[in-house]
Copies of this chain bind each other. A is one copy, B any other.
Amino acid sequence: MRYCYFNGKILPFEETKIGINDLGLLRAYAAFDYLRTYNGKPFRWHDHYSRFKNSALELNLPFGYSEHELQQIIEQLLVKSEKVDACIRLILTGGYSEDSMTIAEPNFIIAIEDLPMSNPEMYENGVKLITCEYLRDVPPAKSTGYLNAIKLQPMKLEHNAFDILYTWRGEVLEITRNNFFIFKNNVLITPVDNILHGITRKVVLELAKSNFTIEERRVDVAELQDADEAFLCGTTKKAIPVVEIDAYKIADGKVGENTKIIMALFDEYVQNY
B138 A143 Cβ-Cβ under 8 A? no
Q: Which chain B residues lie closer than 8 Å to A21 at the CB level?
A: 13-14, 111
Task: Report if A27-B60 is in contact (Cβ < 8 Å); known contacts: A17-B20, A20-B17, A103-B150.
Answer: no
A150: nearest chain-B partner, CB-CB: B29
Contact (Cβ within 8 A) A146 B27: yes
Could you tell me if B91 and A25 are in contact, using CB atoms closer than 8 angstroms?
yes
Asked if A145 and B144 make an inter-chain contact with CB atoms under 8 angstroms apart, the answer reads no
Shortest distance between the CB of A102 and any CB in chain B (Å): 7
Chain B CB within 8 A of A30 CB = yes
State whether A138 touches B146 (Cβ < 8 A). Answer: no
A16 in contact with B19 given A137-B147, A146-B29, A151-B138 (CB within 8 Å)? yes
Q: How far is the CB of A245 from chain B (nearest CB, A)?
A: 21
The residues in A between 63 and 107 inclusive whose CB is less than 8 angstroms from any CB of B are 89, 91, 93-94, 99-103
Chain A, range 8-27, C-beta contacts under 8 Å to B? 13-14, 16-27
User: Which of B18, B93, B137 has a CB less than 8 Å from the CB of A145?
Assistant: B137
Q: How many copies of this kind of chain does the complex include?
A: 2
Q: Is there an interface contact between B101 and A153, defined as CB atoms closer than 8 Å?
A: yes
CA distance A170 to B148 in the complex (A): 24
Number of chain A residues close to chain B: CB under 8 A: 48
A196 within 8 A of B: no
Known A101-B153, A153-B102, A154-B60: A147·B20 in contact at CB below 8 Å = no
Say whether B94 contacts A150, CB under 8 Å.
Answer: yes
Which residues of B sit under 8 angstroms from A137, Cβ to Cβ? 137, 145, 147-148
Q: Does A116 contact B (CB under 8 A)?
A: yes
Given contact pairs A17-B17, A20-B13, A144 touches B60 in the complex (Cβ within 8 A):
no
| A138 CB, min distance to chain B CBs, angstroms | 6
Closest beta carbon of chain B to A109's beta carbon, Å: 6
Enumerate 30 A-B pairs (CB-CB under 8 Å) in ascending A order. Answer: A4-B20, A6-B20, A13-B20, A14-B21, A17-B19, A18-B25, A24-B25, A25-B30, A25-B91, A25-B144, A26-B89, A26-B91, A27-B150, A28-B30, A28-B143, A28-B144, A58-B151, A60-B151, A89-B100, A99-B116, A101-B146, A101-B149, A101-B153, A102-B153, A103-B150, A137-B137, A138-B151, A143-B147, A145-B145, A145-B147
